[in-house]
Structure 1
Amino acid sequence: MSFVEVERISQSYGGRPILDRVSTSAEEGEFVSIVGASGCGKSTFLRLLLAQELPTRGRISIAGAPPAREPGPDRGVVFQRYSVFPHMSVRQNLVAASALGANFWGGLFGAKCKAAQKVADDALDRIGLAHVAHAYPSALSGGMQQRLAIAQALMARPKILLLDEPFGALDPGTRITMHAFLMELRAETGMTVFMVTHDLAEGFKLGDRVLVFDKPRWDPADPNAVGATITYDFDARDGGIPFQRLQETTHVPIEL
């Protein structure tokens, strides 16, 4: 059994299908990039992996455990909106995240406190935010806030990290730096990563695999009649050779 097992999940909102019979799996430590047209359910898929939503049908199992009913500390997430603690400084945000496994909320003192502060300071240097360590998130630019959100999610060392367009607000130079930061922490922790991106080159650069979400059938008279699924599964470690073509895509009227 793979570390992540997704078995024929479907999701609908108000009777409108978003995802239809999506099945895939991932090994522990694998980096899976997710691409596809807007509205094809990529972010919905991440929310299902997070257990922020429950599928209409099907099941998701991680590390052989029963399907989760709500998000847990083993799943880190960075969505398009910044998700940091607004009442904490930049440094405090990272100290809190790095200390979550050390009973932070029950109190962090002595050697544990110094260790968490050292980890936070190292991260600040690596992501270029050391000069605003004592500022609050509201004083940062959008790109700086997103850098902080990414670093915060990584500091907690989750088993699975879920990223939804995490680098979209960053300039090219900072994006390259964050690519390296993400890959270093992934190598150190062995965490499994699922990342949604609209940048195909980025997906192949970072991912071991690239999943393509699309609607296998599309009715011009009713574009929302059918949900999306995984139509291609590319091996990004072998020059992008598709090792599994899952669905043919057609754009013709259909009967339901």
Structure 2
Amino acid sequence: MFLFYLFLIIKTVYSTTTSPSSESSFVYDNQTIGLKKGDGETCMSVTFQVKILNEQNNNSVPIDFHLPSGLIKGKCAPDRKSEAKISSTIEESDGRTKTLKFVFRTEEMRVKRVDELRWQLNKVIYVEKFAGSSAVFESDNSSVIFSAPLTQKYVCEDRINVTLHSENFDFPILVMFSPEIDVQPYGPKIYLCERTRKRTLSESLQNRSTVFCGVVLALSSIAHIVGHMLRRHFMPHRKELYENLDRLPAIN
């Protein structure tokens, strides 16, 4: 009997120490939402502002969906080939609940003749529930919204719109991502989106061009002043004329 109880105690302790800890959600600076493992390590971080545009009846006024204000739930990827999910659910004063869910996965892609494992935000789901009924809108299965090499962060300073459709409704819903976009579901590095990268390069070239023009103008001004001084020095008759002008009495 003693050995039986000892076996139960050892089994309980072992299962407690070896079982994976569940993730906990967090909100940072009222902008970033994410998930942390039981040891406190951040396993997912998402920062962007979202607006929802319901295009029913040609509506053109989007509504803010403030992710940090909702109930944050999700699941981190236990390995590189597993899905990661995070969602925010907001309950309105009239009893209506709205949920925005983001699903990440990984896939090998051919990049410059090399197979590269990349993570992707390939699914956005919007669910609205009210008075016992619900409506579900999803992005296309073939769409890749964000993508970056595995373990790298995706950063974008451009607006991105994603269209969601429902099997039960004939109108779409538009999810509008406003800059700045900062997504890190799998790792600590940074990956700039193509449009931001091109614009950053263009701005850098413009700044260099501005500096170059300023230097040219400064050198031209200095050359003009030096040339004027040399003309006065090496042309005596002009030098005498300048000196006579200096001796003229002031006009009151």
TM-score bin (small chain): under 0.3
**Scaled by the length of structure 2, what TM-score is found?**
0.21
**Scaled by the length of structure 1, what TM-score is found?**
0.20
Q: Give the structure with the higher percent strand.
A: 2
Q: Give the structure with the higher percent helix.
A: 1
| Larger Rg, first or second structure (1 or 2) | 2
